[in-house]
Amino acid sequence: MLPPMPPEQAPPPPRPPPPLPSRPRLASHGQLPVSRIPNAPAPVPSENGVMTTAAKMSLADIALQLRDGQIEARIVHYKADLETSPELDAITAKVVAELKEMKRSASGTMQAVTIDPKTLEIELMTTLRQMLQKLFRKDNLSIMVKRRLGEVSKRFARLFFESEIADKLQGKGDVAKTMRYPDQALFHLLSRFEPELMKELDSFEYASPRVSEDAKTILAGWAQGVRDQFLARSTPELNVLVKMLNEVMTRFLLAELPEQNGELAWEVVKEAKLAETRDPRTSYKVSADAFPRFRQAFEAHFLQRLVAYATDEMLGRVNASETPFRTETIRFVADPHIYSDICEVVCDAVYDYLYNEGFLDLPTDWKQGPVAP
């Protein structure tokens, strides 16, 4: 006798999206996760999906401000972690005094060296251009840059999901999103009334504290479940966008940026005033004192080029795509956090390379210290 036929199985559920940062539990453990995208107005594409030159410049400025905020936060955190003692400070002061005395003694026996600032400026421009040409080549992406593109995709995906769980439209902080899915509406409902729900839970009498904790865990699980369900619905859009971003960034780093290495080097050296050095023996390097100016100038001009190129390319591909993108998605493409994150990842690779090649004369702990990019 043949065994009975198994009942027809339902199709498997959609694959859940990559997880967002660890979600705090409800009640005293914190609110449901919200987007880090600010409510301040930001440039957004027009109705036909294009951005003006002024909007691109404004977007680059906002991205640079976000980048500066990241660096300031890193420096403050670094300084807060430092531990000193009077004994250590005294030893350090003594060593510094001895080094200064040795330097004065040595300078008395050395013949004064004078370098023409114009000559030094040209030398710095030439050196920086040559190094950028090695890092950003037309024939192939360098291994260092290729590795960073994977990190760019990861950050892009995280920003996309953060924008999805926001209840306001990107660029219009006071305009609520249209609820397109039932699970999306339920997630925002739980997020909005979480304090009241937790207050009601805490007002009950429980047989044991474990029951109270389990109730909060179940409520957190409901919120997590409906969030993952509606994020899974937008995953196909994300997959298309990530592919577009990889194509755009590859072309930018292979075709667009290499053509401007010389111009970029000239702008950075000029604007950062790198030729103004006091020590002729290291005049061909960028000192720790000059590095903040170098970073500011390099990232400002890098972002101007990146935003001008990538926004047109991304919006053009979105408009020409067969995938019907939502209004929220088109606005997300112009999120300044995207370009700030790309700037951080790519420019950190540039600084690593320049440091290893000796162009940046920085301390060994420069990544954690006050000169950290």
d(CA 287, CA 177): 49
Q: Does pTM surpass 0.85?
A: no
* Share in percent of the chain as helix, strand, coil (round to 5): 65, 5, 30
The CA distances from residue 83 to 73, 87, 92, 184, 337, in Å, are 18, 12, 14, 47, 33
d(CA 95, CA 221): 58
d(CA 219, CA 209): 16
Q: Residue 108 pLDDT more than 60?
A: no
3-state class of 66 per DSSP?
helix
Q: Residue 305 pLDDT more than 90?
A: yes
Highest mean pLDDT among 58-67, 112-121, 141-150, 280-289: 141-150
Q: Which two tokens stand for residue 187?
A: 């997630």
CA dihedral angle for residue 273, residue 278, residue 282, residue 288, rounded to 10 degrees: -60
Burial class (CB in 10 A: 0-12, 13-18, 19+), 245: buried
Residues 6+ apart with CB under 8 A from 174: 39, 168
Q: Which two tokens stand for residue 110?
A: 């050395």
Burial class (CB in 10 A: 0-12, 13-18, 19+), 67: buried
Contact 318, 49 (CB under 8 A): yes
- The 10s digit of each residue's pLDDT in 311-363 is 999 988 988 888 788 888 888 888 899 999 999 999 999 999 999 998 988 88
In eight-state DSSP terms, residue 206 is -
CA dihedral angle for residue 32, residue 38, residue 42, residue 48, rounded to 10 degrees: -10
pLDDT of residue 17: 47
The stretch 103-112 carries a mean pLDDT of 51
Q: Which two tokens stand for residue 257?
A: 């940026």
Strands 172-176 and 168-169, sheet pairing: antiparallel
Q: Where are the beta strands (DSSP E) in 159-232?
A: 168-169, 172-176
Q: Residue 13 pLDDT more than 80?
A: no
pLDDT of residue 27: 35
Question: Which residue is associated with the tokens 């929220």?
Answer: 328
pLDDT of residue 334: 86
- The 10s digit of each residue's pLDDT in 174-198 is 678 888 889 989 998 988 898 899 8
Average pLDDT, the chain: 78
pLDDT > 90 fraction of the chain, expressed in percent and rounded: 34
- The 10s digit of each residue's pLDDT in 221-278 is 998 999 999 899 889 999 999 999 999 999 999 999 999 999 999 999 999 888 876 5
Contact 239, 42 (CB under 8 A): no
3-state class of 81 per DSSP?
helix
DSSP conformation letters of 296-310: HHHHHHHHHHHHHHH
